[in-house]
Each structure stands twice: as structure tokens, then as C-alpha cells.
Structure 1
């Protein structure tokens, strides 16, 4: 995954989550979303989904999740 094309990581992640939302361990989800956010820092959809996903797994990451969601919303406003 580390050297995979971002589009391939995104597609694989979407397929996996659609099949069975809890199939991927939390560490793998976090790693995939982190790589995507680093490679696509201006992709509102990726940032928003990463933030929502983090909110699903405990309060430890809530601050990061809120930052990702806020950034996603800012980017969406610029798209309109």
C-alpha cells in the first residue's frame, strides 16, 4: 500500500468498506486514509471520509477528525 497509486488505494478502500465496513482493522484504515490525505491534501471527499471514519473509533482521534471534517467543508465551499 505504501507505494501504491493513490487512486488504487482509494478504490480498494472504498470497495473494502462497502463490502464489510469492519473488515479492515482500525490501524489499516488509519494508514490508508493517512496516506491518501498526505497524497491528496485538497481532496474534500477523501478528507471528509477520513474524518468521519476517525470519529467512529474513539475519542483519541476526535480532534484530528474535526480538523479533517472542517478542512473538507472549506474545500467543498471553494468548489461551488
Structure 2
């Protein structure tokens, strides 16, 4: 059993920056996707940041990166910085998702604008 999602991903996909740890298990991508699906946001972000520190690098397949960002945004729907990070990743990996990336950027901007506006109901 892998101790972390990052370790599991490293075994399944490899790591551009570190060797894969010794492991005596067969690696099935479907099992990894199941682990990713039920991972918490911190574990997903740790995996993304360790295996793809510059967004455009690493051996994680684009479909896994997209799924990871989608899952973490579902857990943190009001995090504008995370939305921008996901948008940049989508832009870097092809024009097919440019409309989604633009929508994420717009939502992040709207969240920032809402935070900057004073709340008149509470005298702020």
C-alpha cells in the first residue's frame, strides 16, 4: 500500500524529478483514479505540486491533471488562487479547454471582486 497519493502517482506514472520508490505491487491506473477520486484536497494539491511543480512539467498525464484540478476545485469551490492555477494548467495543455480556463479565471476575478466590496448590510 502506498502511504500517500503522491507516492501512488509516482509509482503509476513516474516522476521527472525523483526515482519511483521500490514497490512490489502491480500498478493499475484505474485503482489510482479511484484513490484520487476520494482523496482530500490537501493530498491532491501535494501530488500536483510535487510531481508537476511548474505546471507544464512532470509525467502525470493531462487527463489526470485535469481530473485532479476538477476534484480539488469541487472541494474548494471558493478559492480564486486555485481556480487561476487550474486555468493556467488548462491553457498550457491545449486549446480544447480554453473556454473552461477562461470561465475559471472569470469566476476567480468575480470572487476577488466580491471580497473587495464592502458588505453594507453589516456596516462594512
- The TM tier, using the shorter chain, reads 0.7 to 0.9
The TM-score with structure 2 as length reference comes to 0.58
Greater relative contact order (CA < 8 Å, ≥ 6 in sequence): 1
Q: Distance in 2 between matches of 1:79 and 1:7?
A: 24
Q: 1:10 to 1:59 in 2, by over 3 A?
A: same
Higher helix share: 1
> Equivalent residues in 2 for 1:9-20 (5 A)?
9-18=44-53
Partner of 2:60: 24
How many pairs are equivalent? Answer: 80
Aligned to 2:75: 39
Q: Note the C-alpha offset of 1:60.
A: 1.1
Aligned to 1:67: 103
User: Which sections of structure 1, spanning at least 5 residues, go unmatched?
Assistant: none
Shift of 1:23: 1.8
Deviation at 1:69, TM superposition (A): 1.0
Give, in angstroms, the shift of residue 57 of structure 1: 1.5
Q: Secondary structure at the match of 1:41?
A: coil
The farther-off stretch of 34-43 and 19-28 is: 19-28
Q: CA RMSD in A?
A: 1.7
Cα deviation code 1:46-69 (max 9, x no counterpart): 111111100112211110000001
Alpha-carbon separation, structure 1, partners of 2:53 and 2:87? 17
